[in-house]
Amino acid sequence: MSLNNAQQPSVQHAFFVTGTDTEVGKTFVSCALLAACRDIGLSTAAYKPISAGCERTTLGLRNEDALQLQLASSLVLDYDEVNPIAFEKPIAPHLACAKKVASGDGTFIELHDINLGYQHLVDKQSDVLLVEGAGGWRLPLGKNSEGYEQYLSDFAVAHKLAVILVVGMRLGCVNHALLTAQAIEQDGLIVVGWVANMLEPDMPFLEENIQSLQNLLQAPLLGRVPRASAPEDVKACFGLQALGLIT
């Protein structure tokens, strides 16, 4: 797949950040990308439409990943603009939602609401808008109020978003990356680039695994992200040219 044939981001420079699994560093990579964009003078905004695993505060439920994305955005955004749908329990969102609905203390997740939140951020006209998924590509959202099964990937497909794939470098990552990229492409979207996130710096045959992914994935490697204490520390790791952010 050539970048010359890749679709352009649907609105401004809009990207959907997904991962090969949960806990592969999507938020860390997203925040580092936002910092890199800010450094070249681009305005940025982030959207994490759904989260699970939140702390109950006086201001409402707060998710640590969403808070980091809010802080990393150059636009001043309210928390609810970044993360409109939040669940307290650290379980799959469709399960958390089902428990709340069954108890009479919640409503179904609706893609319509996620779309409204996205359009609200689009209207702010930042140069770069990063949408961070939850879990992996095919995250179930459960049935909506009309009884239809939904997936977060449906949102990305509806908006024809270019996809950035975060690969957590650990045993099994090649299989997970190839299957995820295949699913994205079968859904009609483009993986515009992938990021090698060093979850296990001592991973056996690390270089060979990265080379295998470079050979087997049709998208370019955007960067190798080493373990670091803060996203700002690794913002120079990315090749923003591949994303069309530097001419």
Q: Is 160 a catalytic residue?
A: no
133 annotated among ligand-binding-site residues? yes
1 annotated among ligand-binding-site residues? no
Which of the following is catalytic: 48, 89, 99, 235?
A: 48
**Alpha-carbon distance values, 51 to 43, 63, 174 (Å):** 24, 7, 26
Contact indicator for 121, 129 with CB cutoff of 8 Å: yes
26 annotated among ligand-binding-site residues? yes
135 annotated among ligand-binding-site residues? yes
Answer positive or negative: Cα dihedral of 1, 125, 65, 207.
positive
Q: CA-CA distance, 191 to 19, in Å (whole number)?
A: 11
Give helix 26-39 / helix 64-72 axis angle, nearest 10°. 10
238 annotated among ligand-binding-site residues? no
53 annotated among ligand-binding-site residues? no
98 annotated among ligand-binding-site residues? no
Give helix 173-186 / helix 206-216 axis angle, nearest 10°. 20
List the catalytic residues: 48
* Residues that constitute the known binding site: 23-28, 65, 132-135, 197-198
* Residues that constitute the known binding site for ATP: 23-28, 65, 132-135, 197-198
* Residues that constitute the known binding site for Mg(2+): 27, 65, 132
